[in-house]
Amino acid sequence: MAWAGKEDLPLLPTEPTSAGRASVPSGVPSAASKAAPASAAVPAASVPSIVVQRWFSVPRVVGHLEPRDLGLVINIDDPYSVQVGEYYAKARGLTEPQILRVRLPIKSALTRDEFTELSKQVNDFYGDRVQALALAWRLPYAVDCNSITGALTMGFDAQLCAKTCAASKPSRYFGSASTRPYKDYGMRLSMLLAAPSFNSAKAMIDRGVKSDGTLGLRGALPANVHMVSTSDSVRSVRQYLFPPPGPVPQFGLNIHLDKTDALKNSPRVLMYLTGRAQVEYVDTVDFLPGALADHLTSFGGILDKPHGQMTVLSWIDAGATASYGTTSEPCAHLQKFPHPQALLLFYAQGGTALESYWKSVAWPQQGLFVGEPLAAPFDRSSSEQTSASR
């Protein structure tokens, strides 16, 4: 495991071979490059029989986003949004100049015109004052085929909607050492404060605040990271990116590479990454405050329509603090889903959930980022302040 310099880094996967060695970097593994829908099946012969785990490199990062860097957007026509937004502002100490109140229809997806108006209000109100946004609602979660977090952060991509399985706009923030995304890249990162109910959202926010500076402490019990390969071969393509299993003492982590369709009664879970349309027993998992969890599937970010797949809201309700899912058919492009090692290594360096998730997705236009944005369990400044106050 290593950190490299400021140049572009080898975060995209090397292609595993059945001979048990890795070839030169190729961008995506063969199974993903076929762009199979995440609801389809691929022949077992197309998946290498042996996967070689190795650590990738990410840049060393100093610092992270703070509450003062965050804007909060509340939809005053949505009672859930008002209640959650007011609670979040108090929980993170946000001031009135950081809060934008808008009027939005409460529906799945904004039209392009509705989004243009929202984007203008955001830009006019915040200018260059904030680096990121917390969006205090469940609906809308999309703008046509784009996720609302993708559209607000990177701009609306109309061309993608003609063919959602195509490559989407690459994120310049992917794998970045930056802690000032709007200043450095013109990207105001956004995350949805979505949960099945206000009480669930309140618990999610409380977990995020409680998590700050709680992990990686000397002498503490290790946190468990579970990276899971399931019987669903298409949705398990991230196994090519999993790190080697075992303890990582410098971060207080223990990495498990599980081969199962679902974890059950697992203790002290910080990260649970899997691939399956429905993940059972999530309510039995003991998630730590600040835990990240997601499943690679087609429609995890479609929050209000029946599609036979579990959504990110199930992870949040089960105790995760942040999650990720797509709002239109992405096909099995690894670049459209969180890179497991990037997500883990940026988080373990003290990054927030918002930064770590955004830095881990190369093509995030269709991806919905959900959770408490500022959760930072490896933030040493928080733990040092806590120790000093005792």
pLDDT tens digits for 317-326?
999 999 999 9
Position 246 scores a pLDDT of 97
Return the bridge partners of 125, or none.
Answer: none
Position 186 scores a pLDDT of 98
Supply the range of the domain harboring residue 349.
67-378
Spatial distance between the Cα atoms of 77 and 87, rounded to a whole number of angstroms: 17
Position 128 scores a pLDDT of 97
Position 260 scores a pLDDT of 98
Reported as a pLDDT band with limits 50, 70 and 90, residue 292 is: very high
Would 196 be classed as within a structural domain? yes
Q: What percent of the chain has pLDDT over 70?
A: 85
Tokens 């937004």 found at: 85
Q: 254-280, pLDDT tens digit by residue? A: 999 999 999 999 999 999 999 999 999
Give the list of residues 6+ apart from residue 384 with CB closer than 8 angstroms, or none. 213
Q: 157-166, pLDDT tens digit by residue? A: 999 999 999 9
- Cβ-in-10-Å burial (0-12, 13-18, 19+) of 322 comes to buried
Position 4 scores a pLDDT of 31
Decide if pLDDT at 1 tops 80.
no
Reported as a pLDDT band with limits 50, 70 and 90, residue 48 is: very low
| Sequence-ordered alpha helix ranges (H) in the chain | 30-33, 79-92, 112-126, 148-154, 181-185, 198-211, 312-318, 340-348, 353-359, 380-389
Would 8 be classed as within a structural domain? no
Position 101 scores a pLDDT of 98
Would 39 be classed as within a structural domain? no
Would 58 be classed as within a structural domain? no
Tell me what the pLDDT averaged over the chain comes to: 88
Would 338 be classed as within a structural domain? yes
Lowest mean pLDDT across 18-32, 78-92, 224-238: 18-32
| 257 against 44, higher pLDDT | 257
- Mean pLDDT confidence for 22-50: 34
Lowest mean pLDDT across 16-20, 88-92, 98-102, 310-314: 16-20
Would 48 be classed as within a structural domain? no
Decide if pLDDT at 390 tops 70.
no
Structural domain count, the chain: 1
Tokens 């990177």 found at: 154
Would 363 be classed as within a structural domain? yes
Spatial distance between the Cα atoms of 371 and 4, rounded to a whole number of angstroms: 29
- Mean pLDDT confidence for 289-304: 98
| 390 against 126, higher pLDDT | 126
- Mean pLDDT confidence for 105-112: 98
Taking the CA atoms of the chain, what radius of gyration do you get in angstroms? 19
Reported as a pLDDT band with limits 50, 70 and 90, residue 50 is: low
| 35 against 271, higher pLDDT | 271
Letter for the amino acid at 198?
A: F
| 22 against 135, higher pLDDT | 135
Reported as a pLDDT band with limits 50, 70 and 90, residue 382 is: low
Spatial distance between the Cα atoms of 170 and 336, rounded to a whole number of angstroms: 9
Would 41 be classed as within a structural domain? no
Task: Name the helix (H) or strand (E) containing 58.
Answer: strand 57-59
DSSP symbols for 40-52: S---GGGS-S---
Decide if pLDDT at 171 tops 70.
yes
Task: Record the pTM.
Answer: 0.88
DSSP symbols for 330-357: --S-GGGS--HHHHHHHHHTT--HHHHH
Q: 65-95, pLDDT tens digit by residue? A: 999 999 999 999 999 999 999 999 999 999 9
